[in-house]
Chain A
């Protein structure tokens, strides 16, 4: 534990700060002093974190809930493929965290979390510590490139756009600037964030090329044998709509990337590109390594599947960062957030709850107008003590499904920010 935390009282600290002329940090710290302790600290203002913070306060307005997020506003990755390919503006995807503060009384801190000290029950931000009774971690993913350094340059030149924010804006610019040549899209092995997203992105880029009659060819290089969800729907769309402009190469591993020569080496040959969207493998956000919750060699944090509680009591890990029976999706993170809010509120009253029904819905565009979808309902079987899934796919591409997709997303956003 740092000296700043241990035993220094507020007056001493402010005095010290003034003595060193640190007026700006002083203000930050003074603000933090008031916020030094919260009943619940929620880390990450994405799908999982926003839901948890809002529902905690909605169910129990007296609770002291702090949400810490480094980005100034929320941006939705769901529907971001629409944005990348010109089917939607960026604005509808962005939301202010203010609503959480003004409507629900969540204290939102716009700061980077540097670490969590589980033994002291405190979260360390760039301006100090915040202690908690309950902690919910929903920091999302990081790109898993440590043992494959060739990905590192590529992250800069070829933004994967699998984390919310600026990567999308840059990739959109690259797509808009593209006129002619070869496009390369790669899919990593699972598990990664949003299983259908790369397949949807490839279809939408292909659809855009067709619509704009660009002289281009797409090499879609998949580490998997086939699309890992809605495979029938994606394959028939690729075959029916894009076979003249796209080549789908399966079970191919990325071995090396030369960003200067614009070349990717794979287990199925070398590919030169004019535009690339190289989606690297993924793992839980590195913040979780620092906390010790993500152990060496693990990619995702193990949690109790019924409660999403980690190995540490009253510390929950939700969303893409955890290893659960649910897919890594915004809808899952949202459901988990609601569930964990219920569990914490009940636990504070000395009760236990467990949700015995969860549902997943995934939509994916296969052209600029049509979409396919899947639904999986999970019911808890008390005998086998596991969740039993019922899976339904609608692989017939339809315009009405594309409309439902939009309504699906708008519903989620309404729920998060109103």
Chain B
């Protein structure tokens, strides 16, 4: 085990105790091959600090929040219809169970917004990776209801656990496991191949500039402010 793995494992053990027991009774705990990683349980809140409610998540709008680290961006989407659980198959033969949507209509999903291809991610200046609602198809690929990254045209299916529809990505987008409790939403962990290590390796300088230090950028969060993407990103680049 190298140092990095060691730290990751310790981190996982340390935060596991903060996740409630009912969660572990679900299939997640049985995910094989380390495909599920529990992190701090974090409440999703609005910009005013009050808990985010289902009615705040408009169908097909794109919301951004940061989880499990202070700097790792995720998209929150209400897909407007029930999204069923699915088995997500990886190219290397491994697979994992994705739990589908949450909320009263089972329509709310969340994914890491770090592209699984070459780690493009939404910054305050640009987002090349974005959600295309059913009525706004991509000009290039003519596909709608997808998450598409304009850097090299990786296409992901938000209705199928972020799996790859087309393009150069080898892995699905990692999904953020959401839990609803008493009308509030919590992020509790990450399913699939997260790209966090590559993210931190690649963007050291940018993250230091934005967050002051790498340690700050890596801090695990217990609260996530959810905002509309174009409130965070200056230029949403669609293609």
CB distance from A315 to the nearest CB of B (A): 26
CB distance from B151 to the nearest CB of A (A): 4
Q: Which residues of A have CB within 8 Å of B139?
A: 394
B119 contacts A by Cβ under 8 Å: yes
A237 to B229, CA, bound (A): 33
A407 to B120, CA, bound (A): 7
A359: contacting residue among B140, B167, B202, B235, CB under 8 A: B167
A167 contacts B by Cβ under 8 Å: no
Which of B120, B141, B151, B153 gathers the greatest number of chain A CB atoms within 10 Å?
B151
A408 contacts B by Cβ under 8 Å: yes
Q: Which residues of A have CB within 8 Å of B235?
A: 400, 403
A26 contacts B by Cβ under 8 Å: no
Q: How does the 8 Å CB contact mask read for B109-132 relative to A, with 1 for contact and 0 for none?
A: 000000001111000001010000
A412 contacts B by Cβ under 8 Å: yes
Which of B119, B120, B126, B168 gathers the greatest number of chain A CB atoms within 10 Å?
B168
A415: contacting residue among B118, B167, B239, CB under 8 A: B118
Q: Which residues of B have CB within 8 Å of A415?
A: 118
CB distance from A281 to the nearest CB of B (A): 30
B118: contacting residue among A335, A400, A414, CB under 8 A: A414
B201 contacts A by Cβ under 8 Å: yes
CB distance from B56 to the nearest CB of A (A): 29
Q: Which residues of B have CB within 8 Å of A370?
A: none
User: Total A-B pairs in contact (CB under 8 Å)?
Assistant: 51
A7 contacts B by Cβ under 8 Å: no
A243 to B120, CA, bound (A): 37
Are the CB atoms of B153 and A400 closer together than 8 Å?
A: no
Are the CB atoms of A359 and B153 closer together than 8 Å?
A: yes
Interface of A is mostly: helix
Are the CB atoms of B166 and A394 closer together than 8 Å?
A: no
Q: Which residues of B have CB within 8 Å of A414?
A: 118-119, 198, 202
A21 contacts B by Cβ under 8 Å: no
A9 contacts B by Cβ under 8 Å: no
A415 to B202, CA, bound (A): 9
B29 contacts A by Cβ under 8 Å: no
Q: Which residues of A have CB within 8 Å of B126?
A: 403, 407
CB distance from B226 to the nearest CB of A (A): 25
Are the CB atoms of A408 and B201 closer together than 8 Å?
A: no
Are the CB atoms of A418 and B151 closer together than 8 Å?
A: no
Q: Which residues of B have CB within 8 Å of A418?
A: 198, 201-202
Q: Which residues of B have CB within 8 Å of A256?
A: none
Q: How does the 8 Å CB contact mask read for B212-239 relative to A, with 1 for contact and 0 for none?
A: 0000000000000000000000010111
A408 to B152, CA, bound (A): 6
A64 contacts B by Cβ under 8 Å: no
When C-beta atoms are compared, the residue in chain A nearest to B125 turns out to be A403
Q: Which residues of B have CB within 8 Å of A249?
A: none
Interface residues in A396-418 by Cβ distance below 8 A to B read 400-401, 403-404, 407-408, 411-412, 414-415, 418
> Given A392-B140, A394-B139, A403-B235 in contact, is the A411-B151 Cβ separation under 8 Å?
yes
B150 contacts A by Cβ under 8 Å: yes
CB distance from B203 to the nearest CB of A (A): 9
A361 contacts B by Cβ under 8 Å: yes
When C-beta atoms are compared, the residue in chain B nearest to A399 turns out to be B235
A335 to B117, CA, bound (A): 12
Q: Which residues of A have CB within 8 Å of B198?
A: 414, 418
Q: Which residues of B have CB within 8 Å of A392?
A: 140-141
Are the CB atoms of A411 and B239 closer together than 8 Å?
A: no
Q: Which residues of B have CB within 8 Å of A375?
A: 140, 153
Which of B128, B166, B238 gathers the greatest number of chain A CB atoms within 10 Å?
B128
Are the CB atoms of B151 and A407 closer together than 8 Å?
A: yes
Q: Which residues of A have CB within 8 Å of B118?
A: 411-412, 414-415
A377 contacts B by Cβ under 8 Å: yes
Which of B117, B153, B198 gathers the greatest number of chain A CB atoms within 10 Å?
B153
CB distance from A413 to the nearest CB of B (A): 9
Q: Which residues of A have CB within 8 Å of B239?
A: 394, 400-401, 404
When C-beta atoms are compared, the residue in chain A nearest to B167 turns out to be A359
Are the CB atoms of B168 and A359 closer together than 8 Å?
A: yes
When C-beta atoms are compared, the residue in chain A nearest to B142 turns out to be A392
Among all A-B residue pairs, the 4 with the closest Cβ atoms: A411-B118, A407-B151, A400-B237, A414-B202
Q: List 22 A-B contacts (CB under 8 A).
A: A335-B168, A359-B153, A361-B153, A375-B140, A375-B153, A377-B166, A392-B140, A394-B139, A400-B235, A400-B237, A400-B238, A400-B239, A403-B128, A403-B235, A407-B126, A407-B151, A411-B117, A411-B118, A412-B118, A414-B119, A414-B202, A415-B118
**Chain B interface residues (CB < 8 Å from chain A):** 117-120, 126, 128, 139-141, 150-153, 166-168, 198, 201-202, 235, 237-239
- A394-B139, A404-B239, A412-B118 are known; give 18 further A-B pairs, CB within 8 A: A359-B152, A359-B153, A375-B153, A392-B141, A394-B239, A403-B126, A403-B128, A403-B237, A404-B151, A404-B237, A407-B126, A408-B151, A411-B117, A411-B118, A411-B119, A414-B119, A414-B198, A418-B202
